[in-house]
Each structure stands twice: as C-alpha cells, then as structure tokens.
Amino acid sequence: MSENLQSRRSFITSILTLGAAGLSASIIYPIIKYLTPPKQREAEVSNVSAGKIKDMENDSFKIVRFGNKPVILIKTDKGDFKALSAQCTHLDCTVQYKKSEGVIWCACHNGKYDLNGRNISGPPPRPLDPYMVQIKGEEVFISKKA
Amino acid sequence: MVKKYFTKTYEWLDERLDLTSLSHFIEKKYVPVHAHSIWYYFGGVSLFFFLIQVLTGILLLFYYKGSADLAFESIQFIMSKVEFGWLIRSIHAWAANLFILSVFIHMFSVFFEKSYRKPRELTWVTGVFLFFMTLAFGFSGYLLPWNKLAFFATKVGTDIAGNIPIVGNIMKGFLRGGDDVTGATLSRFFGFHVALFPGIFTILLVIHLIMVQRQGMSEPMETEGTPETEKKSMPFFPNFMLRDLLLWLIVLNVLAILAVFFPADLGEKADPFSSAPAGIKPEWYFLFMFQTLKYIPAKIFIMDGELLGILLFGFAGLLWVLVPFWDTQSSKGLRNRKINYIGLFAVGFIIVLTILGWVS
C-alpha cells in the first residue's frame, strides 16, 4: 500500500515538475525571442554618389552614408580620392581625417590609420576596410571592393 | 484638537497593523558612536539621491519622448519652454553624478572599515550590485538626450560588451537592438532606465536595507572587544535621524546651487553619419576604465588588447563582489593589512587614471 502511495507520489511529482518546466519554458522562450532584435535586411547598396569633385577641397574629408554604414571619403592634398570604412576597428567610433598629421584619426581612443587604412598607432587591432572610388564625369562614386 | 485626531488615527491603525511593535523596534535601534561614525551617513545620502532621481525622473517623463527623432528636441523643449524644466533636468543630471560619487564613498568606506565581514557578507554583495546598478543607470541615462557625445559613448560601451568572449555578440545585439546604435538602442535604453533598472534597484535596495536593519550598524574592528558598558552609541530615532535629515538638507542645497549655476548641457544632436568629435570622453565615473583601455596596446602576445582589458576589469569586479569570501581573516577579527593595500591601490588607480583621462 505504502509502496503504491510512494510511486503515485513520485509520479505526481514528476508530472508536476515536467509541467512547471514546460510552463517556464513557454514563458521564457517567447521573451528571449522577443528581445532578440529581428534581422533586418540591409539595403543592398553597391554604389553611392558622394557628390561633385569640385564640392570638396583638397586635403579634406567627409562622411558618406553607404547603406547604413558610414564611409570616410578623403580628398588628399594632391587631389586623389580615398574611401574607407569610417568605423574604427577598435570600438566602432566614427573616424575623421586629421589634416595636421595627414592621418585618419579616431577621437574616442586616439587610434590612427594611414591613408590606406592601415592601423599605425593606438589601440585599433585591424586596418579599415577599403572601398573603391570611381569618378564619372564630375561626380564621385563609392562602391564596395569586389 | 489636531493631536486628538492624530492619536485616534494612530490607535485605529495600531489596532489593525500593530504599530507598537514597530515603534519598539525603532526605539531600540542604536547607532555606535566612534571616530569613524561619519561614514555611516553616506548610505543615507546615497538613498536620498536615489529618491531625488525617482522624483525628478518621473517629472522628466511627462515631457521626454524616447525616440531618435524626438528625444533631443523634447529635451530642448524641457530646457527652454517648460517652466522650471531646466531646473528639473539639471537636478536630475547633477544628482546622478553625486549619487554615483556618494555610492563610491559609501562602498569604499565599508571596504576600509571591513564592515563586510561575517555576518554582513550578503549586505556587501547586494551593495556592490547596487553600485553596478548605479553605473548602469548612468550609462543608460546618458544616451537618452540623443546627443553626439552620448551616441559615441554608447557605441563604445556596447562594443566593449561585444568583445566579451562567447556571449559578447548576443549581448551587443541585445543592448543595441540591432547591429548598430540606432533609434532601437534608444528605445531599449529608455526602457532599461525607467522601468527595468528601477525595478531591480528597488528590490536590491529593499533587501540591502532589511539586512542592515536586521543586523544593526557594523562596528569598527577596534571597538569590537570593548565591554558594552564602555561603548558609546546614540539612539537612531530621533538623534541619528535628525542628523541624517540635516545632511540631506545640506545636500539638497548643494544640488540646487550646482543645478542653478551650472545647468546641464545638451550638446549637438546625434548624427550617425558624422565623425566622433575631438575631445570625446565618457562620464567621469567611466574615465578610469576609458583611460586604461587607451594605454593597452592593440595586441599583447596573441590576445587583442581590448579583450585583455575587459577580462581584467571583469575579473577585478568579480573579486570585488567576493571580498568577504576571500578575506577570511577579517571575519575572524584578525587585522588584514593586505585589504588596506588593495583598497588603497584601487582608490589610487581610479583617481590617477581619472585625472589622466580628464587632462588628456
């Protein structure tokens, strides 16, 4: 009799445990899923216009929107164009061109890159990703490197 | 007449809620008096700042709009159009800074007094978590005006979270609400700042305060051996409480002076497609970590310098939470000078790197 009671009890305990686990999972799983941001398809951008050549002075820069990423476009003192990812490889700040030193500089942690995007001093661990610059007539276009 | 009504109300409540036992408890509560008694006040001051933050935070909620398009403008509106809006926001901003400062002082005074020793280990642990929560409040609240400095500070801060091994990327996505810092991040931080964190903080605070009440104020190790009759103390009510309230009043005045003469800045609106401005710095309480990360080289052997920094700070934080469990000597009533040296090193490190970060 008592053995019977025992097995009934353990049966009920395991059923209840299973039920509690199922209930917890059915509450926690949707919450975790809800909190994970949905993957939004990045706008497929392969090519953007960065404005007219004459609108940029020599030895200056601007940040261009490439899809939802910032790209730095530099017009060197010789009038050449260079385009690189503007996201510092250290902690994701947006870089700028430092005229006085002729380098790309990140103000957040003093990281520096040369004009080819190579990390030359400070904490950045990797170079900046390069982009391609094309000139069509008077206009400057930036595109992803193949 | 008034007294009669008051007595009647008290009796009515007492009959139902047994207030007498509560008043007996308060009557019996004593605060030790000794050379280091002054440090007892910083817990109360921290509590006062929290109450101010709750009140001014609720007031700001009446006008603040938590979206990337409207956040900056809504704060401009609060600062320029709403009557006393500038005052409420400035008090909220100043109190945030002083709150963190006061918690720092409270925590380090407890550390140096070794008040975390048995039986108050869990009071310490909840206290350190409350400290982490104040930093989280600071970090999440900083983004809400959606200005340039806040935008890049959040980029850096969330990217640091992304560098944590294994869970980093999931955490970064969770914090940012996507791959980048956008309006989605602002919505999340707004939710953390005004709902999630206050909830967690309040629960931790209640536990912390209940433990302090249950165990009474900790005494310094030096007076522990002296006979009860020779120990000095004062009643909590009204003696200590009145002193507490006087200090709260002074703090409120300091806060008002700071808010009136140095109102909170708003800066420029965040623009995800502009460069990080020169001279960008985080809030002062993160400066020491920010400055340390600046000094760590990109690569140390095969490890990213960044990762090493994060692991070191994470490890230091863990050791800090667990102090009562590895400083077993203090719990036995033995002097442990090592703890003083560690504390002094921590304070020195924080102060020196904060100054270096400030002037650089």
The pLDDT of residue B194 is 97
C-beta atoms of A63 and B156 within 8 A: no
Residues A61 and A129 in one domain: yes
φ/ψ bin of B301: left (φ > 0), alpha (ψ from -120 to 50), beta (otherwise) = left
> What does DSSP assign to residue B239?
I
The pLDDT of residue A114 is 94
Q: Give the pLDDT band of residue A112 (cuts 50, 70, 90).
A: very high
The pLDDT of residue B36 is 87
Residues A91 and A25 in one domain: no
C-beta atoms of B279 and A70 within 8 A: no
B-chain residues within 8 Å CB-CB of A94? Answer: 152, 272-276
A-chain residues within 8 Å CB-CB of B304? Answer: 125
Q: Which of A92, A95, A110 sits opposite B156 (nearest CB)?
A: A92
What is the Cα–Cα distance from B147 to B72, expressed in whole angstroms? 7
pLDDT digits (tens, 9 = 90+) for A126-142: 999 999 999 998 899 99
User: Residue A103: CB partners within 8 Å, gap ≥ 6?
Assistant: A97, A112, A113, A114, A115, A120
**Quick one: tokens of B121?**
């280990």
**Quick one: tokens of A143?**
């595109």
What range does the domain containing A96 cover? 47-144
The pLDDT of residue B89 is 96
Q: Are B34 and B23 in contact (CB under 8 A)?
A: no
B-chain residues within 8 Å CB-CB of A125? Answer: 298-299, 304-306
Mutation for A interface: B275, B302, B303, B307, most A CBs within 10 A: B275
For chain B, what's the residue count?
360
pLDDT digits (tens, 9 = 90+) for B101-145: 999 999 999 999 999 999 999 999 999 999 999 999 999 999 999
Count A/B contacts: CB-CB distance under 8 Å: 80
What is the Cα–Cα distance from B290 to A109, expressed in whole angstroms? 8
List A94's β-bridge partners, or say none: A87
**Quick one: tokens of B246?**
């006087």
How many H helices and E strands in chain A? Answer: 1, 10
Domain map of chain B by residue range?
A: 37-221+231-270
User: Residue B336: CB partners within 8 Å, gap ≥ 6?
Assistant: B114, B327, B329, B330
C-beta atoms of A93 and B293 within 8 A: no
Q: Which of B155, B290, B296 sits opposite A92 (nearest CB)?
A: B155
Residues A107 and A130 in one domain: yes
The pLDDT of residue A43 is 62
The pLDDT of residue A101 is 92
Residues A104 and A137 in one domain: yes
pLDDT digits (tens, 9 = 90+) for A1-10: 567 878 899 9
Q: How far from the centroid of its chain's Cα atoms is residue B119's Cα?
A: 24
Which sign, positive or negative, has the C-alpha torsion B116, B122, B126, B128?
positive
The pLDDT of residue B293 is 84
pTM of the model as a whole? 0.88
Q: Is B242 helix (H, G, I), strand (E, B) or coil?
A: helix
Taking each helix axis from N to C terminus, what angle separates B183-191 and B148-162, rounded to the nearest 10 degrees?
80
pLDDT digits (tens, 9 = 90+) for B315-342: 999 999 999 999 989 888 888 899 999 9
For domain B37-221+231-270, is the CATH number 1.20.810.10?
yes
> What does DSSP assign to residue B266?
-
The pLDDT of residue A17 is 96
Measured CA distances, B100 to A9, A108, B206, B288 (Å): 53, 23, 19, 14
In this predicted complex, what is the ipTM?
A: 0.73
The pLDDT of residue A42 is 64
A32 residue type, one letter: I
Residues A104 and A121 in one domain: yes
Residues A16 and A83 in one domain: no
Chain B nearest CA to A113, separation (Å): 13
Consecutive 10-residue runs of chain B (360 residues): their mean pLDDT? Answer: 89 92 88 89 96 96 94 95 94 97 96 94 98 97 95 92 89 92 95 97 97 90 81 89 94 95 94 87 91 83 84 94 93 88 96 92
Q: Are B268 and A94 in contact (CB under 8 A)?
A: no
Q: Are A140 and A50 in contact (CB under 8 A)?
A: yes
Which sign, positive or negative, has the C-alpha torsion B76, B79, B85, B86?
positive
Element (H, E) at B50: helix B41-61
pLDDT digits (tens, 9 = 90+) for A47-105: 899 889 888 999 999 999 998 889 999 999 888 999 999 999 988 899 999 999 999 99
Give DSSP secondary structure letters for B274-327: SPPPTT----HHHHHHHHHHHHS-SEETTEEHHHHHHHHHHHHHHHHHTHHHH-
A62 residue type, one letter: K
Tell me which residue of B196, B198, B182, B155 sits closest to B71, measured CA to CA. B182
C-beta atoms of A93 and B173 within 8 A: no
Q: Are B122 and B211 in contact (CB under 8 A)?
A: yes
> What does DSSP assign to residue B120?
-
A-chain residues within 8 Å CB-CB of B155? Answer: 91-93
- Residue for token pair 């530099």: A74
Domain count, chain A: 2
Q: Which of A91, A94, A110 sits opposite B159 (nearest CB)?
A: A91
Residues A60 and A128 in one domain: yes
